[in-house]
Structure 1
């Protein structure tokens, strides 16, 4: 077996963020179809609150 030096790992950050957005879109759409717009808005507000808390915690 030949030993080759390891290369640099590719940066998949953009692809991961795009897929996160796609997954949020279909989850919101399915929730909207099943329960209406109010639960979608509440879920979005809850996720926004959690992201804000995480950002504040990382700054501290």
Structure 2
């Protein structure tokens, strides 16, 4: 049987990270104008905690249930 390998696709990681950064800047700017600097700091802290929680959750899932490709 003839094997068809997919073509290599473009890596849009940098573009996605730049857009996330730009969106965070304007969202933090709106929060700052509406609620003040303390709200921006609190929002940043909450986002940081959420990212750390997701990372720990993903790591715990990888330890408990390894994928078949990892075995």
Partner of 1:45: 45
- Higher radius of gyration, 1 or 2: 2
Return the structure number with greater relative CO, CA threshold 8 A, min gap 6: 1
In structure 2, distance between residues paired with 1:33 and 1:54: 29
Q: Is the helix fraction higher in 1 or 2?
A: 1
In structure 1, stretches of 5+ residues that fail to align are 1-5
In angstroms, what is the RMSD of aligned CA positions? Answer: 1.2
Q: How many residues align?
A: 55
CA–CA separation in structure 2 for the residues paired with 1:49 and 1:35: 21
Unaligned runs of 5+ in 2: 1-5, 61-71
> TM-score, normalization: structure 1?
0.82
TM-score, normalization: structure 2? 0.71
